[in-house]
Structure 1
Amino acid sequence: MYQYLLFDIDETLLDFNRDMALAFERMYRAAGLNDAVPYSDAVLRLYNDCNERWWRRFEQGLCTKPALYRGRFVDFFCEAGLPQRDPDLVNSLYFDFLGQTGTVFPGAEALLAALAEKHPIYIVTNGNAVSQKTRLQNSGLLPYIRGCFISETAGAAKPDKRYFDYVLAHIPGAAADNCVVIGDSLTSDMRGAQNAGMASIWYNPHGLPNTLGVPVTHEARSYADIRRLLLEV
């Protein structure tokens, strides 16, 4: 059915929400921000809101990755009532801590181990190049992965068709009709698959509604669903 598997990382294989929260709190304290506004869940939620806004802009082609990295912290400092700090230095510190993480969702390694016996597996991600590589190393998932395509080195990002054109050009034998994109994000993974003319598996373990109306080929509520779709069809 499908030959090449293009997996997203964050919230598909790795627990980014947990890793991000750990890295953000460590950064917040190391940067001395806790002295101005004590760290709390509300502070983290505020950062998440700023971060999500900027990622949506990036996915829509409205800003560059460096502008995203800077803008989310500039907005966060302002909205949290924090003193302005150098956003580049704070961002660098955040990525240093993020790169020390790599929490694997239960069952993710077993899933990849089973799939890798029959399919070449590749990673497709918009994440930061340095931290994503170290998180994958820390995760123990690299033995099952043939390659990793990070938007920063591809010259384009999901959901842009040019990103997937780059991926196909660097996988021998791969074509739009023999690949499937597997990920949790409607706006980057599923929209990207649609733009590239590829099949998709929306990993939706929380049963969220597809309020955006993005076409998906398959929906999976669990790793068992993904395994059945790819190994038992």
Structure 2
Amino acid sequence: MNIGLILAGGSGTRMGGDLPKQFIDIYGKPLIVHTIEAFDINPNIDYIAVICKSDYKEDLNIWVRKYGLTKVKWIVDGGDTRQSSVENGLKAIEEFCGGDDIVVVHDAARPLISQRIIDENIEGAKEYKAVDTVIPSADTIIKTLDGEFIEEVPPRHELHLGQTPQSFEYALIKKAHDHAKENNINTATDDCQLILKLGEKVHLVKGDKLNFKVTTFEDLLILKSVIKLGKLEVK
């Protein structure tokens, strides 16, 4: 069984305004609905859990019915951090999951995820137990310790930009979160960091530039342009 875990608990403060970015209307439907739909139509996804701010759970329930998102089985309260939100999601599906079931963890603010990326995440997680979606860095990355001077220029061919999904066997990701809790690790910005702390390897899945995270107003303009262009091409 393969379960999509959609993270929508963030406040989206970098976008400006009071409405979190994942709930902004994009051509007649909330951004998060565009994201959930990508998982809902994928034949390899069996169920979906959405981790969201408690203030929006009622709205999300309405949208699930309105847009016919039939695979959404859980709507779970988000935590104070990304790590705690994932942990809440894992707890919610625990009784439903076997150890070798696959959990596909994805940011709600990446609505242009392709079906290929979802499929390859599931295939990779079944083979390697843990995978991360990445794209090669097109730019030279500068490391600085103080924001004033260059500390190091790492070789570009060694660097990739992390995206989501990050996908795992349920037993492994649950073990990683339990280990983090036992060792007072609570600031991980993604789940692969926790897997690495167990001494386990994480396989790479090829991402896509269109699978970007909507973080700023400029990102929102790009998203709308891509969706509009897609609709024109379909016509």
Pairwise TM-score range, normalised by the shorter structure = 0.3 to 0.5
TM-score, L = length of structure 2: 0.36
Instruction: Considering fraction of residues, name the structure with more strand.
Output: 2
